[in-house]
C-alpha cells in the first residue's frame, strides 16, 4: 500500500513539474513559428560608413532584416555647412532582405571644426511599409579636400 502511495506522489510531483515545462516549450515554439512565418518581423538594421574624398562624402549603406526586395528610401539631415536635407535615393533589398548601396554626396564645408563637431543622421525607410531605421555618422566626410 505504501509503495502505491509513493508512486502516486511521484506521479503527482512529475505532473506539477511537467505541465509548466510543456507550456513554456509550446510558447517558445509558437513564438519561433510566428517569427519564421512573418507574424512578427524584426526591426531592420542599417550601417553607414562615410569616407572623405576629393569627390565628396563617399557613403556605403549596408543593412539586413528588410522585407525581401523592399524599396528603401535613404535620406539624411543637413550636412555640416549646408542648409538643406539630403536625399540619397532609393535602394533595393535583395531577396533575403539584405541592403547594400553606395552614394557620393557633395562636400558642404571647408571647416574641419564643422565636420568634427556635427553629425548627420541617416534615415532608411521601407517605401511599402513605412518601417524606418536611423544611423548617425560624423560630419567629417562632408569637409572639402
Q: Which of 9, 139, 106, 122 is nearest to 60 (CA)?
A: 122
**Which of the residues in the chain have pLDDT under 50?**
22, 31, 33-34
The pLDDT, as a whole number, for residue 43 is 92
Residue for cell digits 532584416?
Answer: 65
For 132, list phi and psi in degrees, rounded to 5: -125, 150
Q: Which residues, 6+ apart, have CB-to-CB distance to 110 below 8 Å?
A: 81, 143, 144
Q: What cell was used for 64? A: 539586413
The reply to whether the predicted model has a pTM over 0.95 is no
Give the pLDDT confidence score for residue 33 in this predicted structure.
47
First to last CA, the chain: 93
For residue 5, the model assigns a pLDDT of 61
Q: At a CB cut-off of 8 Å and minimum separation 6, what does 75 contact?
A: 85, 86, 87, 88, 122, 123, 125
Amino acid at each position: 500500500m505504501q509503495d502505491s502511495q509513493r508512486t502516486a506522489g511521484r506521479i503527482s510531483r512529475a505532473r506539477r513539474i511537467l505541465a509548466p515545462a510543456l507550456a513554456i516549450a509550446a510558447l517558445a515554439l509558437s513564438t519561433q513559428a510566428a517569427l519564421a512565418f512573418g507574424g512578427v518581423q524584426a526591426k531592420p538594421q542599417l550601417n553607414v560608413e562615410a569616407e572623405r574624398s576629393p569627390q565628396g562624402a563617399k557613403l556605403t549603406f549596408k543593412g539586413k532584416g528588410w522585407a525581401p526586395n523592399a524599396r528603401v528610401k535613404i535620406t539624411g539631415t543637413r550636412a555640416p555647412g549646408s542648409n538643406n536635407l539630403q536625399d540619397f535615393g532609393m535602394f533595393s533589398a535583395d531577396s533575403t532582405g539584405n541592403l547594400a548601396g553606395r552614394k557620393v554626396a557633395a562636400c558642404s564645408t571647408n571647416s574641419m571644426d564643422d565636420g568634427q563637431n556635427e553629425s548627420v543622421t541617416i534615415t532608411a525607410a521601407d517605401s511599402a511599409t513605412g518601417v524606418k531605421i536611423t544611423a548617425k555618422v560624423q560630419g567629417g566626410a562632408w569637409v572639402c579636400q
